Structure 1
Amino acid sequence: MDRQRRTVQRIAVAVARATIALTVVACGASPISGHPEGQNCTVPGVTDKEVKIGFLYPATGPLADGFHAFRAGVDARLSAANADGGVNGRTLSYTWRDDASDPATNLVSARALINDDGVFGIIETTGAATGSAPFLHEQGIPVTGLALEPVWGADDNMFTHLSFASPGSITTWGDYAVSQGGRTAFILRTAFSETMRTIAENVSTSLRTAGVRIAGSADVSPSASPTSLGAQIKASGADTLIALTAPDALDQALIGARNAGVPLKVTLSFSPGYDQSLLQKYGRQLAGTSYFLEYTPFELDTPAHWEFLRAMNMYAPQLQPPVQGGALSGWISADMMIRGLQEAGICPTRQQFIHGLRAVRDYNANGLLPAPLDMATNAGQLNTCLSFVKVSDDGTRFNPEPTARCGRKI
């Protein structure tokens, strides 16, 4: 029986090909609507008993550590679905490939998943999706994942719950900064990252629209000098620090700013810093820092969070603590793949998946998103609704705002 075919997953840490067989159920809003036996489904990756999915991410390379949590979330979501029996009677398995965050390798790995491994669709998180995006669109391959590049908004086959890197801006960031007393901002960006440059431009536009003056900016790395950063921030006259950087770089900037006597009213960063382990590492240095999130904060403790944490502890115990934004993004990306298969019907095709998921007007990952997404119109559009959390004064916990803030497009 399908339910007797549960497998135990193992997270690979080296460059290798691995297939993790996961028994998966269609969960969420759509019920099981039939059984595939006897169906003559000839789409690659689909048999009477299984749908094979590809997973593409940087298992190696300088950015690899930042994506292991995402994979753990994918494993947990598929395995949680595993407990209930299958998407229309089919189990899901996945095969993964490494792209090392390199566009050329990304294309080679995507071709291998499609041509050699014969997968139906791909779950992807990487900073190099530009390498394979044209090929995957040409082949009509459904892709779900975390959008870290504008290319995610170009084609109808790519689905995401996160669109910070798309062109344009929203009022949400600026409105939040002003509500916290911000009037003059200094922006820190990750050095050599075009994605962070795009996000920085979007946030800058939002701040200016809200009446916040941009007093300066700097490209930084985790090895940046706190003294130098503090001097730059102080010289700018900023009372607001926007940090689109790695957590280590933000820590150095805050040390420098405080040593220089900068009276910061607002420090605002993005979701990679929303991590309990960082509070354990940096403690009071992060006190008062706010983070904007594309999902509902864990501290709101919803039933959807309970489901996520139960599955993480059961199926991905290697990730500790499990309360990590990267893992939740992986969970949501896998959930979106499952939802697309549900919408595609008993004998799914890639085109039915794309058409069906684009027709969903209220996708909210069972309550994990700040506001429902209209999949028909959200491609290439920034999310206007964001959640915000702030580090407590003693640096021991995140305090969430009780509801999401929703702005407008600029």
Structure 2
Amino acid sequence: MRAPRLVAVLAASTALAVGLAACSSDDTNDDAPAIAAEDVKVGPPSGWSDGGFAPDPARLKCGQTASDPTRGVTDTEITVGGLAYLTSPNGSSMAGTELGAQARFDRANEEGGVNGRRINYVGTLDDGNDPTRNSAQAKALVDQKKIFAAIPVMTSSANYLDTFCSETVPFFGWGFNQGFCDTTLGFGITGCQFPGDGVSSTTYGLMIQAMFGGDASGKTTALVGVDNDSARAGLRELGEQIRSVDIDTVYEENPIPVAGLTDTTAVVNAIMTSNHGAPPDVVLYVADFNSIIKLTEAMTAAGYQGKNLNPVGYDPRLAASGFEGLQKSYTIVQWAPGTATDIPAVKQLVDDFAKYVPDAVVSLPAMAGYWAADMFVNAATEAGPDLTVDSLLKTLNSDYSYYVPDAVPETRWPINHAVSAPCASIVQLNGTKYDITSKLACGSLIRK
């Protein structure tokens, strides 16, 4: 069966593949794990260890006070709007993220707003995945829409930062572009996806352990990525995360062209013999959706019996269609999936979608938009009734933490301006449903 037309999965691939492919190669250390394997433990989605890491405050940009601290806020309302690639030339997009935000804002307004102020959500502008348009739309949000804060921000380009920084505009979203990193203004729901300062985490290693019931001793992993510099650095970073729990990596290559993979033969042959002439136990694909599908199907055709892991395969439309290309594949998700309705906060999200945006799909972009809006509502409420841009940022950057129990991992600020929360969940596509292999859990940050 062919894949249904998706607006989410390619975006999800970009979000994780690009975000996890951003470490400087200068920080990479391919030697022994940074901490002893027996000391690396899986833990709850809050209270994770920071490993002694703290960002350098001098590195955080845009720390000035606002020239117009009451921009977009009155005694009765707060004006907000978003920026995302709702369309793009290659067909992938973050469409649905605006509906997720709308659902959360609608519920907030029905419940009385934020400290008595109604949220005036002016919608999300589409940058078309065009860097020039990204910059222009950011200016439109500030100059024409007069927004207090930008929610949700889900773009590939960070050109918006010039305007948001100069005008002191707080922004909330999924931190898979570099605008979310090393500034005082950007708040990703799982932090900054571009780790720096020689810090890593145990996340991927622990998730692979979970795929084997918590014990992956003696298991091997192959990592397959895209052929560019950032992706090569990113694959090395993921290799470190996996080796941190004493899982061997037998293949770490980037043979997939940026334009996508056509002939899979050479890659499949290399993977199938990478473990001393035998296949590895796990293959982790970090690439575009179409290339991952081609490789997964080709590996199956070659008789591969191990586990396939990717960052793109969670989308309700795939399950609903019984899509064959990713059957039995595992997907890593940075928060609890929408199928986890036994979690009260996830059930609330699903109910809010049904009530306020009944035609929306509970996809990864839609959930990201919802949680970004939820983070803003939480922080603005905590900032109190005398709300200004400066009071909001002071609240957020003064040991603020955001956590939705068992649904969205804890982030802490300012630490997550520089690194992502070391947390994830794992789902597996089985027939027309996703089974949750590992509930949302966290590892720890480690210094390289």
Q: Shorter-normalised TM-score: what interval?
A: 0.7 to 0.9
1:138-187 superposed Cα distances (whole Å, 9 cap, x missing partner): 32211111111233121011111223333342112123335634744333
1:289 to 329, 340, 352: 329
Q: Hey, what's the Cα distance between the residues in 1 that align with 2:314 and 2:273? A: 29
Matched, 1:148 2:176: yes
User: 1:282 Cα shift?
Assistant: 5.5
Q: Find the counterpart in structure 2 of residue 313 from structure 1.
A: 354
Equivalent in 69, 85, 89 of residue 62 of structure 1: 89
Secondary structure (helix, strand or coil) at the match of 2:369 reads helix
Once residues 203 and 156 of structure 1 are traced to their aligned partners in structure 2, the CA distance between those partners, rounded to angstroms, is 27
1:246-289 Cα offsets, whole Å, 9 max, x none, are 3333221111112122342x32212x421232234454543432
3-state SS of the aligned residue for 2:415?
coil
Within a 5 Å distance, the mapping from 1:97-246 to structure 2 comes to 97-123=125-151, 124-129=153-158, 131-162=159-190, 163-167=192-196, 168-178=199-209, 180=212, 181=216, 183-189=219-225, 194=230, 199-209=234-244, 210-215=246-251, 216-219=253-256, 224-237=262-275, 238-239=279-280, 240-246=282-288
Q: 1:286 to 1:97 in 2, by over 3 A?
A: closer
Secondary structure at the counterpart of residue 417 of structure 2 = coil
| Structure 2 counterpart of 1:152, one-letter code | F
Change (3 A) 1:352 1:63: farther
2:116 matched residue in structure 1:
89
Query: Which of these residues, 337, 360, 369, is aligned with residue 330 of structure 1?
Result: 369
CA separation of 1:275 and 1:79: change in aligned 2, threshold 3 A: same
CA shift in 2, pair 1:197/1:319, >3 Å: farther
Q: Within the alignment, does 1:409 sit opposite 2:443 as a pair?
A: no
Q: How many residue pairs were aligned? A: 362
SS in 2 for 1:382: coil
- Return the offset for 1:354: 0.9
1:344 alignment counterpart: 383
Which residue type is aligned with residue 105 of structure 1?
Answer: R
The secondary structure found in structure 2 opposite 1:364 is strand
Q: CA 1:400–1:262 in 2, change beyond 3 Å: closer, same or farther?
A: closer
| 2:410 alignment partner in structure 1 | 372
Cα deviations by residue, 1:60-112 (Å, 9 ceiling, x for unpaired): 32366431122221111111212112112221123332222232221221112
Q: Alpha-carbon deviation of 1:42?
A: 7.0
CA distance in 2, matches of 1:73, 1:191: 34
SS of equivalent to 1:298: coil
**CA pair 407-292 structure 1, distance change in 2 beyond 3 A:** farther
The corresponding residue for 1:259 is 301
| Structure 2: distance between partners of 1:73 and 1:342 | 19
The residue that corresponds to 1:76 in the other structure is 103
Q: What displacement does 1:397 show? A: 2.8
TM-align CA RMSD: 2.7
Query: Helix, strand or coil for the counterpart of 2:410?
Result: coil
| Equivalent residue letter for 1:59 | L
Corresponding residue number in structure 2 for 1:358: 397
The question of whether the paired residues in 2 share the 8 Å contact of 1:76 and 1:315 is answered with: yes
List gaps (5 residues or longer) in structure 1.
1-40
Kindly state the Cα deviation for residue 236 of structure 1 after the two structures are TM-superposed: 3.3
Give the alignment's TM-score, normalised by structure 2.
Answer: 0.73
Cα deviation, residue 330, structure 1: 0.8
Q: State the AA in 2 paired with 1:339.
A: N
Structure 1 residue identity aligned to 2:348: E
Specify the SS of the correspondent of 1:236: coil
**Structure with the higher helix share, 1 or 2:** 1
Does structure 1 retain, via aligned residues, the 8 Å contact 2:69–2:390?
Answer: no
Deviates more, 1:51-60 or 1:289-298: 289-298
Counterpart of 1:276? 316
Tell me if the contact between 1:230 and 1:255 (Cα under 8 Å) persists in the aligned partners.
no
C-alpha distance in 2, partners of 1:230/1:135? 46
Q: Is the Cα–Cα contact under 8 Å of residues 178 and 212 in structure 1 kept in the other structure?
A: no
Higher relative contact order (Cα pairs below 8 Å, separated by 6+ residues): 2
Q: Please give the secondary structure, in 1, of the residue aligned with 2:187.
A: strand
State the secondary structure of the residue aligned to 1:338.
helix
Structure 2 contact 424–442 (Cα < 8 Å) conserved: yes
Q: Say whether the 8 Å CA contact 2:129–2:157 is kept in structure 1.
A: yes
> How far does the alpha carbon of each residue in 1:161-217 deviate from its partner, in whole angstroms, 9 at most, with x for none?
2233333421121233356347443333356695x5564342122123334224133
Change (3 A) 1:249 1:61: same
2:429 is aligned, of 387, 391, 394, to: 391
How far residue 52 of structure 1 moved from its aligned partner, in angstroms, is: 0.9
Q: Aligned to 2:222, what secondary structure does the other structure show?
A: strand
Cα distance, 1:223–1:69 mapped onto 2, change above 3 Å: farther
SS at match of 2:200: coil
Output the amino acid matched with 1:208: R
